[in-house]
Amino acid sequence: CVVVLYHGLTTNLAAAFWKLCDEGEDRDDDDCSGALASVGCLRAIATILESVSSLPHLYGALELPLMPIMRKMLTQEGYDVYEEVLEIISYMTYFSPAVSQQMWELWPLMVAALEDWAIQYFENVLVPMDNYISRGTETFLAHPTAKQDVLRLASLLLLNKEMPEAECIPAPKLLECVLQNCRGRVDDCVAPYLAVALERLAVAQMSYMQDLLVQVLANCLYYNAALTLGILASNGRTTQVLSHWFGMLSARNKAGKRKHHRREHDKKICALGLIALLQVPTASLPGDIQAGLGQIASTLVALLADLKVQIKENKEAAENDDGRGWGYGSDEDDEDEDEELGEEDEEDDPEDDQEALKALAARARRVNPWGARGSGGDGEDDDDDDDDSDDEGMMTDDENVTSPMDDVDAFIVFAETIQAAHAGDAARFGALTGGLDAAGQAVLEDLMQHANVRREEIAKEKAEEE
């Protein structure tokens, strides 16, 4: 029986791990052989857990022999094997049919470790925490401390101005996880999430860190745009915050590439946040936003046009991947390599389309309905155009991370928003499209047609799955 086989292997490895721990107490401090062997046992267990991922019913049986290891090694006693233990927990919470109550007992241990001694492992802890929130949403929402734990951990990083920005990156990702997986059910979290993200944004230097923090705002808008706007207005920050964001959206480097939101994931989050903003009834919008609907729509069209191109390029890159794993598939900077190689695709990128996109990009660079100046993102070529190289190592490929947003197509949602305005509110439709010149109108029409293509593709994919 497969269950007996893998349960036996896991139990034997767990017993070997405990034996090595006992023997390690008698070894000299300079003797690392036992520690290496202990790590080897845990990595072997992780290999087993990964190999049975197609048999989710096995994880319940494997949980029993592993629970004592996970429980004890999440304390400071497990410092030497902490990463390996977190990997095991990640597999247990991702591949099992559900996150068990016994596994939930480990949540407070991870929180306590981060607050006490393991803050440098936050990126590692983020993986299982994401699993707890996304795959155990009901338990997370009913948990007596979990929601406050998330806010407290994010604040621990973001409100500590002495904390290096590279160490803060997991915090906005954790906030995003809650907002996306608990949409409509954590209204009380929106205001504090915005507060900690925007406070850190005021002093953030890294381009990628700024992106992640602003994407908390985009996620809040997608979660509930009216609620988010109300919170910003109550704090008198609507103009300031949106001005900063639009400055980032319009900023380009000397090569004409976006300085911010360069990943496919980032563009999609920002697009959905902007679409949600456009879906708020006109009467509920602040006056300055009403006056800027045309510029917002223009910026959104340019963003979606870039997203469409990037998705196409990423798909082609994946199809042509030779397995060497070069570069970041979701980073616009890959385009630079193509240009250096002189690669062109005249069939897929007609000259007329390129000219329309260039004109729209130029217009987007000038668009900022709130006239931000001196915010570091006004769209002009700054002296730090080439300083983003320091961020490259931080830009992890989140395209491999699943979320509820995967089932949301930004192009379809955008098309439905425009169609609803056209059918039900002529004045609003005119305000949305009035900010587009001829080139922008052409790109808008292309995006509307692309939404129809996406509907057909999604229907075909679902049919194939069935």
Distance separating alpha carbons of residues 69 and 84, to the nearest angstrom: 11
Q: What is the pLDDT of residue 25?
A: 64
More confident of the two residues 415 and 1:
415
Residue 62 scores a pLDDT above 50 = yes
Q: What end-to-end distance do the CA atoms of the chain give, in Å?
A: 30
Residue 411 scores a pLDDT above 90 = yes
Residue 328 scores a pLDDT above 90 = no
**H-helix segments, 280-329:** 287-291, 293-319
Q: What is the pLDDT of residue 79?
A: 93
More confident of the two residues 370 and 457:
457
In DSSP terms, 128 is beta-bridged to: none
Q: What is the pLDDT of residue 281?
A: 93
Per the CB < 8 A criterion, the answer to whether 293 and 278 are in contact is: yes
Per the CB < 8 A criterion, the answer to whether 261 and 211 are in contact is: yes
Q: List the helix and strand counts (H, then E) for the chain.
A: 22, 0
Structure tokens at 452: 């129809």
Residue 355 scores a pLDDT above 90 = no
More confident of the two residues 80 and 348:
80
Q: Give the model confidence (pLDDT) of 193-228 as tens digits.
A: 999 999 999 999 999 999 999 999 999 999 999 999
Q: Which of 82-91, 272-281, 384-393 has the lowest mean pLDDT?
A: 384-393
Q: What is the pLDDT of residue 32?
A: 59
Q: Can you list the positions of beta strands (E) in 10-142?
A: none
In DSSP terms, 258 is beta-bridged to: 252
Q: Give the model confidence (pLDDT) of 134-157 as tens digits.
A: 999 999 999 999 999 999 999 999
Residue 131 scores a pLDDT above 70 = yes
Band of residue 326 on the pLDDT scale cut at 50, 70, 90 = very low
Whole-prediction pTM: 0.86
Distance separating alpha carbons of residues 322 and 344, to the nearest angstrom: 20
Q: What is the pLDDT of residue 385?
A: 47
Q: What is the pLDDT of residue 329?
A: 43
Instruction: Give the residue among 132, 147, 135 at the shortest CA–CA distance from 188.
Output: 147
Q: Give the model confidence (pLDDT) of 274-295 as tens digits.
A: 999 999 999 999 998 999 999 9
Residue 353 scores a pLDDT above 90 = no
Q: Average pLDDT, whole number, for the chain?
A: 87
Residue 344 scores a pLDDT above 50 = no
Band of residue 321 on the pLDDT scale cut at 50, 70, 90 = confident
Residue 259 scores a pLDDT above 90 = yes
Quick one: average pLDDT of 355-379? 47
231 backbone dihedrals φ, ψ, rounded to 5°: -65, -45
Instruction: Give the residue among 310, 315, 364, 300 at the shortest CA–CA distance from 333.
Output: 310
Q: Which of 27-31, 99-103, 251-255, 377-381 has the highest mean pLDDT?
A: 99-103
Distance separating alpha carbons of residues 139 and 104, to the nearest angstrom: 8
Q: What is the pLDDT of residue 352?
A: 55
Q: What is the pLDDT of residue 348?
A: 47
Band of residue 26 on the pLDDT scale cut at 50, 70, 90 = low
429 backbone dihedrals φ, ψ, rounded to 5°: -60, -40
Distance separating alpha carbons of residues 14 and 68, to the nearest angstrom: 9
Q: What percent of the chain has pLDDT over 70?
A: 81
Q: What is the pLDDT of residue 358?
A: 52
314 CA to centre of own chain: 17
Quick one: average pLDDT of 386-406? 62
More confident of the two residues 198 and 25:
198
Q: Which of 115-124, 187-196, 363-372 has the lowest mean pLDDT?
A: 363-372
Quick one: average pLDDT of 79-100? 97
Band of residue 34 on the pLDDT scale cut at 50, 70, 90 = confident
**Look-up of token digits 């992780």:** 46
Cβ-based neighbour number of residue 348 at 10 Å: 10
Q: Residues 417, 303, 301, 373: what is their CA dihedral angle, to the nearest 10 degrees? A: 110
